[in-house]
Amino acid sequence: MSPARPPRIGPAQRRARLGRRHLLAPSRRAATVEEAVEAVVGLHATDAATVYLSACARLAAPDAAAVDRALYEDVSLVKLLSMRRTLFAVTTGLAPVVNSSTARAIAAKERATLLKHLTDWAQGWDEERLAATERAVLAALAARGEATAAELSRDVPALREQIEYGAGTSYAAKQSVGSRLLRLLASDGHIRRCRPRGSWTSSRYPWAPVPPLPELPVREAKAELARRWLAAYGPASEADLKWWTGWTLTDARRALADLGAEPVELAEGPGFTAPGDTAELPEPEPWAALLPSLDPTAMGWRGRDWYLDPEHVPALFDRNGNIGPTVWWNGRIVGGWAQRPDGEPVWRLLVDAGREAERAVAAEAERLAGWLGEARITPRFRTPLERELSG
């Protein structure tokens, strides 16, 4: 007998799962920040505002102060340089998995790269001096409790030295040793970002020492991260998993095998679900969402045609592949949004989604304006439509 064909899961079912599992349908919204973050595995944190905007889009009662508490008081969220060498905010429960499966390897590459840059482009640096400077920074932080890069540079003058990349060439540039070294110490799990100086939209972070995260067996951690991702983003292809994690194809395939992922057939070809997750789910109620730049839902897959019209990519993405603020209707990206200088959220649909969609998007824009209050958002990665709408 020939083997049974894998079950087919079409785009409509994938969009239904997205609305339910990413907590975007109103009836599915989260009660806590941690629940919102767990639902999508982690929130992109390169742009300071994205964590707040992404979490609040999924909260039944959006509240920037609740996100602030999770990050800086309860410390129930941890920021790690991890998947795709991108900064993510994940829960403390998942942090050891992300650390062992992905972040540790990235930290090792960061260290090797910094040491090479120091020896190639800076004066008087070697591995021994780098280690001594790291110890001095950690001692200064232990004495202060927390400190900004500028404050630490007064305690450890070596941080003020410059790395002069490509001297005498057209691409010559300078960067302080301090900015690179603090990033390295954070990647290695020795320090963390504290509450920013200024509003929650600020990127002026002080730093504080932290105890190291537990280390798990790497292969087990990869399988667990793949399982969590498939539970949130499945069904998906192995190419999607490889892209989202930044792993090699071999690592992605091994993780799928180790977790016992179930094969399915997608519109674009073979895919996988988490074990026991092939049954069809009911569609949620109609829903709209205004998601921020680099939101994990928009950036969750390499293959995006089932929720994003390729014709809309030039308006919604920057030249480096970073997606800007998006408008969603029932699991599809249908437009983009921005905030004007006076604080008003403005949006534009790129398709005729119907009057029900327009009313729902307008209600979401009003909900967003209500919790943003006096905060002003300018995405770090600006896209053509966002620039146009913001004026």
What CA–CA distance (Å, rounded) separates 92 from 98?
10
Which carries the bigger pLDDT value, residue 1 or residue 6? Answer: 6
pLDDT tens track for 37-83: 999 999 999 998 999 999 999 999 999 999 999 999 999 999 999 99
Q: How many structural domains does the chain have?
A: 1
Q: How far apart are CA 48 and CA 242, in angstroms?
A: 26
Q: Write down how long the chain is.
A: 391
Whether this prediction's pTM lies above 0.85 is answered by yes
* CATH code of the domain in which 179 resides: 1.10.10.10
Domain membership flag for residue 204 = yes
- Residues 151, 28: Cα–Cα separation, whole Å: 44
| Phi, psi of 382, rounded to the nearest 5 degrees | -95, 140
Residue type, 198: G
Instruction: Please state, in angstroms and rounded to a whole number, the distance separating the CA atoms of residues 290 and 333.
Output: 10
| Amino acid letter for position 36 | A
Buried b (16+ CB within 10 A) or exposed e, 183-219: bbbbbbbbbbbbebeeebbeeebbbbbeeebeebeee
Q: Strand, helix or coil at 78?
A: strand
Domain assignment present for 352: no
Q: What is the sign of the dihedral through the CA atoms of 140, 146, 150 and 151?
A: negative
Bridge-based pairing of strands 173-176 and 191-193 is: unpaired
Instruction: Encode pLDDT of 175-231 as tens digits.
Output: 999 999 999 999 999 999 999 988 888 888 899 999 999 999 999 999 999 999 999
| Residue 301 placed within a domain | no
In a domain, 151, yes or no: yes
Beta strand segments in the chain, E? 43-44, 77-81, 87-91, 162-165, 173-176, 191-193, 207-209, 262-266, 269-273, 288-291, 326-329, 332-339, 345-349
Does 117 have pLDDT greater than 60? yes
d(CA 75, CA 34): 10
- Between CA 114 and CA 130 the distance in angstroms is 9
Give the residue numbers spanning the domain of 150.
113-209
- Look at residue 319 and tell me if it is in a domain: no
Residue-level pLDDT at 167: 67
For residue 259, is it within any domain? no
In a domain, 214, yes or no: no
